[in-house]
Structure 1
Amino acid sequence: MSVKRTSRARAFVMAGASLAVAGLLAGCTAGDSGSSVTENQNSAEENAASGDTVVIGFSGPAADHGWLGAINSAAQAAADSYDDVELRVAEGTNDANLQISQVETFVNEGVDAIVLLPTDGAALTEAAIQAMEAGIPVINVDREFSDPAAARATILGDNYGMGVSAGSYICERLEGQDDAVVAEIAGIDSLPLTQDRSRGFADALADCGLEVSNRVAADFTIQGGEAVTSQLLSAAPQIDAIWNHDDDQGVGVLAAIEAAGRDEFFMVGGAGSANAMRAIESGDSVLEATVIYPSTQAADGIALARLIAQGKTMSDLYTPSVPNRIVLDAPVVTADNVDQYIEFAFES
């Protein structure tokens, strides 16, 4: 089954692509031959070659969640893959003040770059700005700072796109059912990422004439997912589709569904955990799809930090510097394509 983006999302992507092509054409026709476009481009071989040792400080939240654990292990694995990277990992914490002190320590140590997944983007913004002002490039991962000056590069999962992908999939599955009951099990409502996911979901549903009939919010934990799902199922005697924002809390969501003996609906998950993909693969669960939220973001941050610190460019781009903002894709995983994604999945 193909999964279509909303018309709004398609228009945005096509507009961006048109601008990019126009810009490239303009660059090639402005000079005599356009051959200078490739002069500052590093090859993949040049980027892979060992260079000056880069000391990178990495700080992220406590790994109290399968996705966060995967983020941390992938960051370390990425650093280990380079013989010219020394990674200094601060203890994971959910205390913004402690994380601020970790950033300050990295600055005092004079690291070459900092990769930071903030426990709270707004709270860590000033500390990141101070690092940038000290000449240390900061790579912001996942939870965005409140000021673009706080980061040299930002790499993000597509939270709005997750919602669009989930909503588009549900629209296709419920095509023609204008009275369908759609439920949503969100994460932490106070986080911008949750708000973006819900906004994308609502926009996608609106494009096919549907809306969220029942909504609850959990806290990205198994216990929270189970508790709010029990409340949801009690309040809604009939449901046609559910989108659960997070596969870690989805373990609790599925437990509550099983305890209630409900199976009249199908469910879409979020993030891309291994247990979710195994359930999808089995065909024996109400969970029939999940939307990827890459757990490789910090690993990508390590790679970008190395390139930036060594003054290299991205080998597959012609622009002579590393982009300052990268948003990753949010594809839908179903039984038809799960074999393409399961090796990259994380354990809840």
Structure 2
Amino acid sequence: MSRPHPHRRLRLVTGGALAALLVVAGCTSNTPETDSSSGGTDSKAVSANDDPGKKVVIGFSGPAADHGWLAAINSSALAEAKKYDDVELKAAEGTNDASLQISQIETFINDKVDAIVLLPTDGAALTDVATKAMEAGIPVINVDREFSSPFAARTTVLGDNYGMGVSAGTYACKVVKDKGLDDAVIAEIAGIDSLPLTQDRSKGFKDALKACGQNVDNRVAAEFTVESGEKAASNLLQAAPKIDVIWNHDDDQGVGVKAAFDNADRHEFAFIGGAGSANAMRWIKDGSMAATVIYPPTQAADGIRLARLIAQNKGLSDLVQVEVPKRIVLNAPVVTKDNVDDYMALGFES
């Protein structure tokens, strides 16, 4: 799955700022960045930062790779570290056990690594040990699931769940406009409704639709699994004989969602996905999916790069600031047939 996590946080946008965000999303969401995304290719930024520097030891701890998105998180981090001769990576075994992950960080502290990249199985549960590492002089790069204290991380790298919803909603508005639909029926297949990340995605979608005078007419929730996606999508199709646009939050879940569409022979709508799986990329290329919204599987790879720079006392070469920023929220671009080849390398297998 993509993977959705309960401790992702959104950037809060209110009032006029939301309108500005929607305009920007509409202008930029379909435009790939010209710089290669970390973990996607062998390319690295063209700057002196890539020249070999002081040898650094980085500890990496992530969750168990029990679905596509998390597997991509872990593999991209390992691949990124291998690109640098001045990086020695100590990678702990992936786990969904907070107690075991705490033990892994304790080991990194005892080993006196130069930096730690940590995607916590539970941000709150790992806050104390991350703070301990920081107090020991070891910078912690927090990935995807935030800690509950600002003192637990030197830098935090996040995807943008609210932004995913905004991008999906903005694209849905474009579909409605391009097709000249007067009374569009828009549906949503969410993930687990109790999770903040799902709530953030749905809010962004709703807010973007509202900006163009649309709303969600039919909504169901699944559980980020293939089976639940198929069941939820089947129920949705039975309840809605007419649909113009469907946004499914998660491309791993989308395997089941698309199976339901195929079984019912329902393809009259624009199908929008979420996360950016390899399946979604292939569906876009063959025309069976209109678009997907990226939730970057390269966050830990970005964490590795940032850990290296921080441990070597470097900043980001494209910024005037001499230090790595405290917080980085990655973009949630829309991938369509026009730009799918640019993002294909980032597609993860479900």
Secondary structure in structure 1 of the residue aligned to 2:131: helix
Q: Partner residue of 2:153? A: 151
Q: Could you list the runs of 5+ residues in structure 2 that have no partner in the other structure? A: 1-14, 25-44
> CA 1:119–1:189 in structure 2 vs 1: closer, same or farther (change >3 Å)?
farther
Of Structure 1 and Structure 2, which has the larger fraction of its residues in helix?
Answer: 1
**Aligned-partner residue type, residue 148 of structure 1:** P
TM-score (norm. length: structure 1): 0.84
Describe the shift of the 1:96–1:79 C-alpha distance in structure 2 as closer, same or farther (beyond 3 A). Answer: same
Q: Secondary structure at the match of 1:268?
A: strand
Does the 8 A contact of 2:187 with 2:219 survive in 1?
Answer: yes
Partner residue in 2 for 1:220: 224
Q: Aligned ranges for residues 29-178 of structure 1 at < 5 Å?
A: 45-175=47-177, 177=181
Partners of 2:19 and 2:211 within 8 A in 1: no
Partners in 2 of 1:100 and 1:210 — Cα distance? 46
Partners of 2:188 and 2:218 within 8 A in 1: yes
Residue matched to 2:256: 252
Partner of 1:273: 277
The answer as to 2:328 corresponding to 1:326 is yes
Pair 1:198–1:310, CA change in 2 (3 A): same
Q: Secondary structure at the match of 1:165?
A: helix
Q: Distance in 2 between matches of 1:243 and 1:217?
A: 11
Counterpart of 1:241 in structure 2 is: 245
Partner of 1:307: 309
Partner of 1:27: none
Distance 1:98 1:213, change over 3 A: farther
C-alpha RMSD of matched pairs (Å): 2.1
Q: Distance in 2 between matches of 1:132 and 1:138?
A: 6
Report how far residue 143 of structure 1 moved: 1.6
Take 1:233 and 1:103, find their aligned partners in 2: how far apart are those partners? 47
SS class of match (1:347) = coil
Q: Note the C-alpha offset of 1:90.
A: 1.3
Tell me the equivalent position of 2:212.
208
Residue from 315, 318, 336 that aligns with 1:316: 318
Contact 1:165-1:291 at 8 Å conserved across structures:
yes
**Secondary structure in 1 matching 2:322:** coil
Whether the 8 Å contact between 2:134 and 2:140 is mirrored in structure 1 is yes
Matched residues, number: 314
Distance 1:113-1:320 versus aligned 2 partners, 3 A rule: same
Question: Based on CA coordinates, which of the two structures has the bigger radius of gyration?
Answer: 1
1:110 and 1:13, CA in 2 relative to 1: closer, same or farther beyond 3 A? farther
Q: Cα deviation per residue 1:44-90 (whole Å; 9 max; x = unaligned)?
A: 55322222221111111111111111111110111001111111111
Identity level (%): 69
What 5-or-longer segments of structure 1 have no aligned partner? 1-5, 16-42
Amino acid at match of 2:121: T
- For residues 303-324 of structure 1, what are the alpha-carbon distances to aligned partners after superposition, in whole Å with 9 as ceiling and x for unaligned? 0001101111111111010101
Q: 1:59 to 1:83 in 2, by over 3 A?
A: same
Q: Is the 8 A contact 1:155 1:328 kept in 2?
A: yes
CA contact (8 A) 1:118 1:143 kept: yes
What secondary structure sits across from 1:189 in the alignment?
Answer: coil
Q: Which residue of 2 aligns with 1:37?
A: none
Structure 1 position 122, deviation (Å): 2.4
Paired with 1:11 and 1:262, the residues of 2 have a C-alpha distance of: 36
Q: Aligned partners of 1:280 and 1:193: how far apart in 2? A: 25
1:169 is displaced (CA, Å) by 0.6
Report the equivalent of 1:184. Answer: 188
Deviations 1:234-272 (A, max 9, x none): 232322211111111111110111112212212100111
